[in-house]
Chain A
């Protein structure tokens, strides 16, 4: 049985939860696997710590909490500091490279960074930084298929925003693929 525990951490307003929702949907609805999502957020909309725990598995998930993730996705320095000690020894770290500087990386951990904010700004909307990260996740890990992730994305974002979101996703995906290919 294959099961992947994912922790996504960032700040309120960065769309951490939406990233988790898209990954969960991609796996469960469009890839036909199983997924659970646990969300935790602070009492303010902006700036407070926020995280999502996603489990994606072939079999139904009995325990949805992700204490030691296989993959850690971080979009803020605080989230990195808070969650890096919990990452599995051979785990994978995906980080927003302009917001997070991975210090004291545990040995055995593989880390890939992406300038997601800059990419989102180039596309015209800083707001889609989380979608760049979702694409990056799909590109590096392959835990969700490209087709499923795109379908999940398009079914989750507001009408009229699809094309920019799709471009953001694809930029992240391509960046992820190229880093893995070069590794």
Chain B
């Protein structure tokens, strides 16, 4: 889905003064996405559903975007340095929920990039009809938790010892959610067609 009112690419200035370009991922990004994902340590890509170190997985990732509401990449010096997506189910009773996934390359971590990308994802969500967005984080991942909390997410549930980290240790899985439906309450009020003082 394209979001006409939010124009990409956008140049974002990070707190350290460096600038990066944030734009929507395209099919032609495939080789650079392969390079980016392969540069990640296992620990940082372990939370993804598929093994993105494999080129054929990335091949599908850049093409099969039907359930992606928005797929962003951050770029610096012609290289992809971060990927952020918001994904939705296309059918069923959780169609109003989106899931965010975010990964920032090691050299660029702790420079505020996760917050920049999350801000775009959160902004895009209501425009795509989503009411709630969620993110999964392994217990102990302070950066991810802080970034989500800074962008309005709240810790909603903990699944105890639900994931295994690269060292084989079982960790809690934290589910963060952000209810963005209030934006639509205003539209509902506008659509109310109601006046207590005026009858037909």
**A interface residues, Cβ below 8 angstroms from B:** 10-18, 39-46, 48-51, 123-125, 127-128, 130, 154, 156-167
Contacts and interface: CB of A to CB of B under 8 A. Distances in A.
B48 interface: no
Where chain A touches its partner, the secondary structure class is: mixed
Given A127-B187, A161-B127, A13 B5 contact: no
Interface residues of B, number: 30
Given A125-B129, A157-B190, A164-B127, 4 more contacts: A41-B200, A44-B194, A123-B129, A161-B187
B128 A40 contact: no
A15 B190 contact: yes
A165 B180 CA distance: 16
Contacts, number: 98
Interface in B177-200: 180, 183-184, 186-188, 190-196, 198-200
Given A15-B190, A127-B184, A158-B183, A164 B198 contact: no
Where chain B touches its partner, the secondary structure class is: loop
B6 interface: yes
Interface in B101-136: 123-124, 126-130
A121 B108 CA distance: 40
Contact of B192 (A13, A51, A128, A158): A13
B187 A13 contact: no
